[in-house]
Amino acid sequence: MGKKTKLALAIAAASAAAWAGSKAFIKPQKREGKEVLKKAPVVLAHRGGAKLAPEHTMIAFEKAFEFGVDGFEIDVRLTKDEEIVVIHDETIDRTSDGMGSVKDFTLEELRNFNFAFHFKDGEGNYPYRNQKAEIVTLKELFEKFPNMYINIDIKDSPETYEGSLMPSKLWRLIEECHAEDRVVVTSFYSEQVDRFNLYAQNRVALGAGETDVRKAFTAFTSQFGHLYHPKVDVFQIPTKHGRFSLDSPKFIAYLNNFNIPVHYWVIDDEEQMMKLLDKGAQGIITDRPDIAVPLVRNWIEKQKEKGENQK
């Protein structure tokens, strides 16, 4: 046996020993369960249910509420006068003459636009062009629906002026409205979640950003998955990212082992909803709450029946 072969075998043996040792002594660091995440599975209306009504408008939120959703999945940005408004796009194009960036308008100026102007229903009609729908502030949403689960996605980049202010302003508003136990704060930018938590100090449930998802999936597919140390409380993810499938029962179970539920977006197909629930998903984020709410309720009833029959 040559020296190189002996060296390779020694390295392999040392790696195996390190893996076995860490597996024996290091237990998964589970996240402390947050109140807002105790119910499962849940249905969250994506932007209020964007295929049924104009997204992020009070029209949409009220309609989704009537369907019986557990909460809303929303996006937030900061206005010129530093008000937190509920909107996804950075650029305003909600009326024939409403153009520009959210950050360039005050809240009062944004009130002049019809945020239902471009909504088209399933028949190709524009039913809300003559029914003005004003922009919604996060505070108004908190006050209108005091008991709803609200998943808040910070859209302003941490590199922008607005993004630098958002974590502290968002925390102060959540604290002012006593909404700590009914919100999840997340962002595509993991840095925004970290910065928000500097103020919140784990008093608010945190959602995974892109970096958090990448770290978790890398750990899951490695031999050292037990060494993963999560910094967030819930994953809201698509079923696929590039060529990687994120909806395997094993990946869901892996995250559940850290007390992290998994919610999938944006799911509007009944068959896909059923498959995800059967795989262990704890939440469906959807543009079609009219489909998702009764389906999830029926699924829950069937699980109860199965449990009774097995006794």
The predicted-structure confidence for 102-128, as pLDDT tens digits, reads as follows: 999 999 999 988 898 889 888 889 988
Residue 115 falls inside a structural domain? no
Chain centroid to Cα 104, Å, comes to 27
Angstrom distances, CA of residue 81 to CA of 103, 106, 190: 8, 5, 25
Residue 119 lies in a domain: no
In terms of residue numbers, what domain contains 172? 30-86+138-306
Q: What is the pLDDT of residue 85?
A: 98
Is residue 33 pLDDT above 90, yes or no? no
One of 46, 56, 226, 263 is an active-site residue; which one?
46
Question: In the structure encoding, which two tokens stand for residue 48, read together?
Answer: 């209020």
Active-site pick, 56, 88, 229, 263: 88
Asked whether residue 124 is domain-assigned, the answer is no
State mean pLDDT over 294-307.
91
CA distances from 247 to 44, 139, 260, 277, 288 (A): 18, 34, 14, 10, 20
pLDDT at position 12, please? 41
- The helix (H) or strand (E) run that includes residue 185 is strand 183-187
236: β partners: 263
State the amino acid at position 33 in one-letter form. G
Q: Does 164 score more than 80 pLDDT?
A: yes
Q: Give the total residue count for the chain.
A: 311
User: What pLDDT does 188 receive?
Assistant: 94
pLDDT in tens, 216-239: 999 999 876 677 899 999 999 999
Give the mean model confidence (pLDDT) for residues 143-148: 97
Comparing 217-226, 251-260, 297-306, the range with the smallest average pLDDT is: 217-226
Determine the pLDDT at residue 93: 67
- Is 58's pLDDT higher than 70? yes
- Give the chain's domain count: 1
Question: How far is 212 from 92, CA to CA, in rounded Å?
Answer: 30
Reply yes or no on whether 88 is catalytic: yes
- Would you state the pLDDT for residue 136? 97
8 Å CB contact between 55 and 88:
yes
Residue 176 lies in a domain: yes
Q: Which has more pLDDT, 265 or 95? A: 265
Tell me what pLDDT residue 94 has. Answer: 60
The pLDDT > 90 percentage for the chain reads: 71
The predicted structure's pLDDT at residue 28 = 60
46 classed as catalytic: yes
Residue given tokens 């209020």 in the structure block: 48
36-40, 116-120, 174-178, 260-264: segment of lowest average pLDDT: 116-120
Report CA torsion sign: 175, 62, 157, 108: negative
Residue 227 lies in a domain: yes
* Range name among 22-36, 53-67, 178-192, 195-209 with the lowest pLDDT average: 22-36
For residues 192 and 209, the answer to whether their CB atoms sit within 8 Å is yes
DSSP secondary structure letter of residue 113: S
Kindly state whether residue 17 falls inside one of the protein's structural domains: no
We report the CATH number of the domain holding residue 218 as 3.20.20.190
Element (H, E) at 45: strand 42-46
